């Protein structure tokens, strides 16, 4: 099982006046090769949960196991290594660097690995062809369309071939055509064996036929419907 959480609690600014309990006692198991949606109102804890699953930071309490490894006691350096190996992240605004070319945006996650440029470009090339953005590879990202940008973000998440793809409100800034297209790509990735987790309250996402389970979060707790 790629994702297993047990009694996970996240408290921001613990013991300070601005303390926030963002997650409380979350138990969660996600089947491999499935597509899961996290749904909840603004502030319910979706991004926090995704960040913990994505090995961005540790929970305050509880046990998190990603790809069979117990994260709770890993030092930050190993958490980062684990993230690079197992997680592909797609952000809400896609977090694309506008001044970099399409290709350099896609290879960005490989830079800390010290990979040779020729090898990085070969990996990027395959993905750019797969997502039909090859003809824009030398364009600065500021000069490509919204749909192309979305495909750049997906390609970047896949550059390391991680088994787990996490997307935080990926359709928030997309029209319905591009949202549909985004979900088609996610379906394709699921068919290719990936496990996918998406936070969203967009019905185009949460009610999509290829979503296996929708998890409702309310005030930091999983809410059984």
Ligand X SMILES: Nc1ncnc2c1ncn2[C@@H]1O[C@H](COP(=O)(O)OP(=O)(O)OP(=O)(O)O)[C@@H](O)[C@H]1O
Which of the residues 138 through 197 are near ligand X (CB under 6 A)? none
Residue 101 binds ligand X, judged by CB under 6 A:
no
Answer with the entry of Mg ion, ligand X, none that 203 interacts with (C-beta below 5 to 8 A by kind).
none
Distance CA 68, CA 131 (A): 31
| CB nearer to ligand X: pick between 26 and 102 | 26
Residue closer to Mg ion (CB basis): 148 or 202: 202
Where does this chain touch ligand X (CB under 6 A) — which range of 40-48, 122-130, 139-147, 179-187? 40-48
**Pick 40 or 162: Cβ nearer Mg ion:** 40
In this complex, which beta carbon is closest to ligand X, that of residue 20 or of residue 115? Answer: 20
Q: How far apart are CA 94 and CA 10, in angstroms?
A: 25
Buried b or exposed e, range 93-131, using 16+ CB within 10 angstroms: ebebeeebbbbbbbbbbbeeeebeeeebbebbeebbeeb
Question: How far apart are alpha carbons 51 and 36 in whole angstroms?
Answer: 15
Q: Say if residues 156 and 176 touch (Cβ distance below 8 Å).
A: no
C-alpha to C-alpha distance for 40 and 102, rounded to whole angstroms: 33
> Residues 55, 83: contact at Cβ < 8 Å?
yes
Residue 59 interacts with ligand X (CB under 6 A): yes or no: no
Closest distance to ligand X from the beta carbon of 97 (Å):
22
Q: How far is CA 185 from the centre of its chain?
A: 14
Among the listed residues 44, 47, 150, 171, the single contact to Mg ion using CB under 5 A: 47
The region of 39-47, 141-149, 157-165, 177-185 touching ligand X under the rule CB under 6 A is 39-47
Which residue lies nearer to Mg ion by CB, 47 or 171? 47
Q: Which is nearer to ligand X, 3 or 133 (CB)?
A: 3
Residue 54: contacted member of Mg ion, ligand X, none (CB under 5 to 8 Å, by partner type): none
Closest distance to ligand X from the beta carbon of 92 (Å): 8
Strands 195-199 and 35-39: parallel
* C-alpha–C-alpha distance, residues 176 and 178, integer Å: 5
Our finding on whether 200 is near Mg ion (CB under 5 A) is: no
Q: For residues 81, 31, 89 and 142, what is the CA-based torsion angle, rounded to 10 degrees?
A: 150
Residue ranges that bind ligand X, judged by CB under 6 A = 12-13, 20, 22, 40, 42-48
Q: Which residues bind Mg ion (CB under 5 A)?
A: 47
């Amino acid at each position: 099982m790629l994702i297993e959480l047990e009694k996970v609690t996240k408290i921001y600014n613990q013991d300070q006046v601005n303390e926030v309990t963002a997650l409380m006692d979350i138990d969660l198991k996600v089947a491999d090769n499935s597509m899961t949606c996290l749904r909840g109102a603004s502030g319910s804890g979706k991004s926090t949960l995704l960040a913990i699953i994505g090995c961005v930071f540790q929970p305050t309490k509880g046990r998190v196991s990603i790809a069979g490894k117990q994260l709770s006691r890993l030092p930050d350096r190993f958490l980062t290594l684990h993230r690079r190996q197992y997680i592909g992240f797609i952000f809400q605004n896609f977090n694309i660097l506008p001044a970099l070319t399409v290709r350099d945006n896609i290879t960005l996650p490989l830079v800390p690995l010290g990979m040779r440029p020729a090898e990085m470009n070969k990996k990027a090339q395959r993905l750019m062809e797969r997502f039909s953005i090859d003809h824009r590879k030398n364009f600065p990202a500021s000069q490509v369309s919204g749909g192309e940008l979305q495909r750049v973000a997906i390609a970047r998440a896949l550059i390391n071939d991680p088994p787990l793809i996490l997307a935080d409100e990926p359709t928030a800034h997309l029209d319905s055509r591009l949202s549909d297209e985004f979900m088609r790509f996610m379906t394709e990735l699921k068919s290719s064996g990936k496990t996918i987790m998406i936070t969203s309250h967009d019905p185009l996402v949460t009610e999509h036929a290829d979503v296996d389970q929708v998890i409702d979060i309310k005030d930091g707790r999983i809410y059984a419907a």
